[in-house]
Chain A
Amino acid sequence: MLAPRRPTSRAGWTWSAALAAVLVVVPVAMLATSVLRPDTQLWRDQWRTRLPGELVDTTLLLVGVGAGSIVLGAGLAWLVSAYRFPGSRVFGWMLILPLAIPSYILGFLTLSTFGRTGPVQDQWRDWFGLDAWFPRIESVGGAVIAFTLVLYPYVYLLTRAALRDQAAGAYHAARILGAGPTEAARRVVFPLVRPAVAAGAAVVMMETLTDFATVQYFGVDTVSVGVFNIWRGQYDRDGASEIATLVLGFALLVIGLERVARGRARFGQSGGAGAGITARTLEGWRRWAATGVCGAVVFVAFIGPVLRLSAWAIAEQRSDRGTPLVDQYPEYLMNSLQIVVITVTICLVVAIVLANAQRFGNPAVTRLSSRAVAVGYAVPGPVVGIGVLLAMVAADDALEAIGLNLPGVVATGSLLVLAYAYAIRFLAPGLGAIESGIGQVSEEMTASARSLGATPLQTVRRVHVPLSRASIASAAVLVGVDALKELPIVLLLRPLGFDTLPVWVYDLASESRFQQAALPALSIIAVALVPVALLTRGLDRRV
């Protein structure tokens, strides 16, 4: 019998990984061809006018949101892991809830609550006069706060997992060696969880970087906003994709920073023997201070927004104009769920293949493929959307050229195309989680299964997948929540008549009918809570 040259690097795995990478990279690359013939006039104009400001705003925003998420995410993770205080267990899971709120919803909520014309500043002016100073919310600072509040849970989640899995032993050792809790945290725990914190912060910064809608509420001009002004307003797609290379540049910078911060350590999301840090009970004013801090964050980032949305939704239902509880409501909901399920399925399957290909396939090719799929996460949604359209049309032409005509399926946008674009966008975070899960399965485990007669595919099914179940579940949640909240791609690529909850929000919000958008916004949050709750339960059971 003839078998491939390398028994441990089955060609099938290598090819699958490479194919996945090509499918992710090609649509993005199709848009970028104009970069090879740069429009120097455009660059000169941009550099003379907007670009310096955009670079400054983008940098400030990324640094601010990154730092804010690290302080809030890692700090709160430490607080609830290392100390016991009134409500600490409940806060342990409540602090994840803001993940369910899309940034574009928290953006307009923040603005309409704390902004220039919101009730808070109204009251303030009532008390202190029309010219009373109030910090300006419509600013980089305001955007930093809003993004931090919805994105810090990424850092929080990864840090808590790392604290549980990796840092507990070292922390106790340091305490026994005479270090106080703070010193132990600074000298031992922080260096150990640093890779996890860095990974979380990188996710947060990517999400911030590729946003172009929420930042505009705050009057913040990032490079992504610049790209959209050139694309939508100046009708210059080529020029926009040239400027978009700057977005990619920032993304590479973020990835580079993460690598530096991570150092040579690796972070794992699951597994490990950690029994967790033994929590110390806080005494006196400290216990209430801890409760207060956690309570304040949960209130500002989750309860407050939900209450305000609920008030709007109720008022809207009572008003005679009312958003009728439209007949389409169940349909929107089902559509949202459908695309989430499909996207999660595709992302999980592809991520599992990519992660396992690194064990069974050619190491160089598979590792490169895994890195390459990160590009989709580093590009704003609409760029991915148009790229996929271009690729689909090219594919359609190619099929026609060889005499295969598939009318409709390619061009009109099918669910498959939509899910494809979603997968390009969200494969990277899913893959990250699953890679760390598979990484915890020892090579010996794989070798044992193989020598017991299991083929690579059987090994994946019977050993790798069951053992990285926790990681696969968190990957599913991360991808699912992202897919549920996703907005720009669904606008471009959805099939006719396939409207989802975010589309509904968009239709109303783009006409500044924010109150009417409250009900669909609440629905998104409600649906997103389901996976978040599952994740929470998983997290708690393991703590």
Chain B
Amino acid sequence: MHHSSHPNDVPPPRRRRPIGRRVALGALAAAAALVATSCGGGGDTLVVYSGRHYNIEAAFEQYTEETGVELEFLTGNDAELREKLAVEGDETPADVYITVDAGNLAAAAEQGLFQPLESDVLQSAIPAELSDSEGRWYGLTLRARTIVYNPDLLAADEVPTTYEELAEPEWDGRLCMRNASNVYQQSLVASLIAHHGEDEALRIVRGWADNAEIFSNDVLILEAINDGLCEVGVTNHYYLGRELDENPEFNVALAWANQDDRGVHVNISGGGVTAAADKPDEAQAFLEWLATDGQEVLVAGNHEYPANPDVPADPLIATEFGTLDDFVRDPLEATVFGALNPDAIRLMDEAGYG
């Protein structure tokens, strides 16, 4: 206070409208905007919470064109949308919940967020092992997690044939794998637990942890193999499809895993009608469409396999990887590995798998 702290030396402002008034105007405009946008979700539209992002607009638009039913959707992370559904409870605007992973479908069913459907269309379109036994959710597309390799570095007969083999010491320093936070990696490990029990699964994952360089997404694994940084890896098949689509010279080949025993691990993207749906019948009709006429547009450009066996796979993967008839799929029900997802995470933690 004594040595003067000249408050008067702040430079003089130009004259202008007082901030207070401008703030007030802004607040008014904002309030008007709030009122205007807070009344969505009602009316005749069907509301979808979707963990799928890519190209779903195209599918939804086509459905609207064909049926006249308007769709509104909210994309996001599977687990977070499931939390949102659970917290919203009866008040949720969502009629349909779609995920990219079986684990969250199983968890949502467990939480009572789906209602069981009695639909001949769905039952005949989607194989039983790809849907819930009580009809609460149905798989829509398939995502095989399999072995990929660099054909320059590995001859066809040298390529490992099973997930279990990748845990052998000979692959030390030659393997690239996905980090433990990823749902696909989690569901693969969950399937190992289902088949082998905890102890054996732990041994296998420890073997991977010893051998592998860990990447934070599948595309990086594919690029690393293409660059020759590793010889072999495990990714979802459609990422390779996408790379080959962009660059036919892309130097990575695919080998379906475990063809001599249970088959390759397949995760599903699927959906169901929410327990609190306002329009369950319309929601069911939409799901039926996705499982039949909508299959093609749903997988278009994304190189997934349609869950409906009557719908052909897109030409690129049909040519490069074969159709669903050309390889053996692990028959393990999605419900089972979905329910084991938490155990899979604990097991990877235990194994020190990054």
A: which residues have CB within 8 A of B?
A: 45-46, 48-50, 111, 115-117, 122, 125, 130, 138, 216-219, 221, 225, 228-237, 271, 273, 319, 321, 338, 341-342, 345-346, 348-349, 382, 385-386, 389-390, 393, 396, 407-412, 414-416, 419, 440-442, 445, 460-462, 465-467, 469, 472, 488, 491-492, 494-499, 503, 506-508, 510-514, 542
Contacts and interface: CB of A to CB of B under 8 A. Distances in A.
27 contacts: A49-B350, A49-B352, A50-B349, A116-B224, A116-B229, A117-B226, A117-B227, A138-B215, A219-B216, A230-B345, A232-B79, A233-B103, A233-B186, A342-B34, A393-B87, A393-B91, A411-B92, A414-B38, A416-B38, A466-B13, A491-B75, A495-B41, A497-B40, A497-B73, A499-B75, A512-B217, A513-B54
A312 to B, nearest CB: 13
Interface of B: 5-7, 9-11, 13, 18-20, 23, 26-27, 29-30, 33-34, 37-42, 47, 53-54, 72-80, 83-84, 87-89, 91-93, 103, 107, 179-181, 183, 186, 213-220, 223-224, 226-229, 239, 246, 301, 341-342, 344-346, 349-350, 352, 354
Given A465-B20, A496-B41, A496-B73, A219 B354 contact: yes
Given A49-B349, A219-B216, A321-B301, A511 B53 contact: yes
B220 A116 contact: yes
A472 to B, nearest CB: 7
A390 B88 CA distance: 8
A117 B301 contact: no
A401 B228 CA distance: 65
Among B29, B74, B229, B345, chain A packs the most CB atoms within 10 A around the CB of: B74
Nearest to B48: A496
Given A389-B84, A412-B40, A496-B40, A349 B342 contact: no
A229 B180 contact: yes
Contacts of B341: 233-235
Given A234-B346, A408-B93, A466 B7 contact: no
Given A341-B29, A408-B40, 13 more contacts: A49-B350, A138-B215, A138-B216, A225-B181, A234-B345, A236-B342, A321-B301, A345-B26, A407-B42, A412-B92, A465-B20, A496-B72, A497-B40
B83 A45 contact: no
A251 to B, nearest CB: 22
A492 B345 contact: no
Contacts, number: 208
Contacts of A115: 220
A218 B215 CA distance: 8
A440 B10 CA distance: 10
B88 A415 contact: no
Contact of B38 (A228, A345, A408, A442): A408
A497 B53 contact: no
Contact of B30 (A341, A408, A472, A499): A341
B53 A386 contact: no
Given A414-B34, A497-B72, A466 B342 contact: no
A502 to B, nearest CB: 12
Given A389-B88, A507-B54, A510-B53, A492 B80 contact: yes
A294 to B, nearest CB: 28
Contacts of B239: 512
